[in-house]
Structure 1
Amino acid sequence: MCSISLYANHMSSAALQGSLFDAVETAGLGPLDAIRRTTLSRGAWIDVLPGWLAGADSLFERLVERVPWHAERRQMYDREVDVPRLLSFYGEGRTLPDPVLTEARAALNDRYAAELGEPFRTAGLCYYRDGRDSVAWHGDTIGRGGTEDTMVAILSVGAARPLLLRPRGGGETIRYALGHGDLIVMGGSCQRTWEHAIPKTAKPVGPRISIQFRPRGVR
């Protein structure tokens, strides 16, 4: 695991172009009533709500400063490579880095716990510093997500980046540009039967942070 200090200059150089629709200083959540569900194939579905969090750009700036970001290296075939994003994980019982994230998790539990059968308990954060940072096609199948239906709720702050989804094994790709307080919830069999990715891009893009709320035993 690499020290965050190796990335200090890169992080400080990332500039967020704020949204004209998100200029408020205080972050606050809207109602979840307007969220819209799309049924996918193989028992999967997604719920999407643009702009759920007002003041998301101010939250982005706080998270950049407060979160103990770290870099990781992973084995890729016969060599070890850098994970192309910064990471932080908040397990059960650990205080989240901003009160609005605690409020967001509580609101998501109010909405989804009965359908899910359990609450969201953990939060994983990813910091995409620019277009070179990405995540490859995958499902959250470490732990119970590989064998059971579950949910993963992702709140995005900072600049919009495309989240791609496709059926596992290939098929038509669905694209959502997520940032500035947008919410997507992936449910049903989505982690087992579909894949999602944030692709690299050579286009100039601002930094983005995603916050992934998950139930116990899902990564």
Structure 2
Amino acid sequence: MQTLLFEQDVQRIADDASGPITYRPGIIPSTLAATWFDALREQGDWHASSRVMYERLVGVPRLHCHYAVADPALPGVLREALARVAQHVDAPFNSIGLNFYRDEHDSVAPHNDKLHEMLPQQPVALLSLGATRTMQIRRKQPPHLKTELELEAGSLLLMGWNAQLHYDHGIPKLRYPVGPRISVAFRVRPTRNAW
């Protein structure tokens, strides 16, 4: 069972049977968040990928990489980040996924995390580094309430396991210039998939 350890400065996006989704800015000081961003931009094992959409192959509009927490090649900055997140969220995270949004053209469509790739009742914790980007969170069932949340550098967004059943989330493209951002997602995956 997930436990949210922090209580102060928490913005509750959803806090009922369909959630929780909570946001806390500033769990990482801005100078440290900038240092971690620079290190991950340089050290991350970044990959581009493509997928089939509308019967054609298209590039995924962001770079990504994944690490198992037990991987000896896990960058030290991710070990530090995991230790800091563990001060705020009580969950046995074993997988870290990163998305690199290079500019305003990079995005992720509204989606929910695949529950078969996560241990039941365990949360997803998203640490933001770099430029502020807007996340849209939308309830799947009527009323289709939508929240736009500005994810600042050093902030932590926590989504409960059951939130994936009831909400979609995404980072839309923008029509104005914005700097790069890295999203660091901490998950608890079944041992066979802890990549």
Q: What is the TM-score with the length of structure 1 in the denominator?
A: 0.75
Query: What is aligned with 1:70?
Result: 47
Q: Deviations over 1:30-85 (max 9, x none)?
A: x9453526234542111211111112112111111101101001111311110000
Q: Distance in 1 between matches of 2:80 and 2:9?
A: 17
By relative contact order (CA 8 Å, sep 6+), the higher-ranking structure is 2
Query: What is aligned with 1:13?
Result: none
Number of aligned positions between the proteins: 183
Matched, 1:201 2:179: no
Matched, 1:96 2:74: yes
Matched, 1:176 2:153: no
Q: What is the TM-score with the length of structure 2 in the denominator?
A: 0.83
Q: Amino acid of the residue matched to residue 103 of structure 1? A: E
Q: Distance in 1 between matches of 2:16 and 2:105?
A: 31
Q: Structure 1 pair 110/156, CA: closer, same or farther in 2 (3 Å)?
A: closer
Q: Secondary structure at the match of 1:89?
A: strand
Q: Structure 1 pair 93/164, CA: closer, same or farther in 2 (3 Å)?
A: same
Q: Amino acid of the residue matched to residue 36 of structure 1? A: V
Q: Distance in 2 between matches of 1:212 and 1:188?
A: 13
Q: Distance in 2 between matches of 1:162 and 1:122?
A: 24
**Counterpart mapping for 1:18-57 below 5 A:** 32=6, 34-36=8-10, 38=12, 39-40=14-15, 42-54=17-29, 55-57=32-34
Q: Distance in 2 between matches of 1:68 and 1:105?
A: 18
Q: Distance in 2 between matches of 1:144 and 1:60?
A: 27
Q: Distance in 1 between matches of 2:54 and 2:141?
A: 21
Q: Amino acid of the residue matched to residue 61 of structure 1? A: D
Deviation at 1:124, TM superposition (A): 0.2
CA contact (8 A) 2:18 2:165 kept: no
Q: Secondary structure at the match of 1:53?
A: coil
Q: Amino acid of the residue matched to residue 137 of structure 1? A: P
Match of 2:139 among 167, 185, 201: 167
Q: Deviations over 1:72-104 (max 9, x none)?
A: 0111131111000000000241143233x3233
CA contact (8 A) 2:124 2:159 kept: yes
Query: What is aligned with 1:156?
Result: 128
Unaligned runs of 5+ residues in structure 1 are 1-30
Q: Secondary structure at the match of 1:52?
A: coil
Deviation at 1:169, TM superposition (A): 4.3
Q: Distance in 1 between matches of 2:53 and 2:115?
A: 17
Deviation at 1:142, TM superposition (A): 4.8
Q: Distance in 2 between matches of 1:208 and 1:111?
A: 22
Unaligned runs of 5+ residues in structure 2 are none
Q: Secondary structure at the match of 1:69?
A: coil
Q: Distance in 2 between matches of 1:167 and 1:41?
A: 12
Q: Distance in 2 between matches of 1:169 and 1:85?
A: 28
Q: Distance in 2 between matches of 1:60 and 1:112?
A: 21
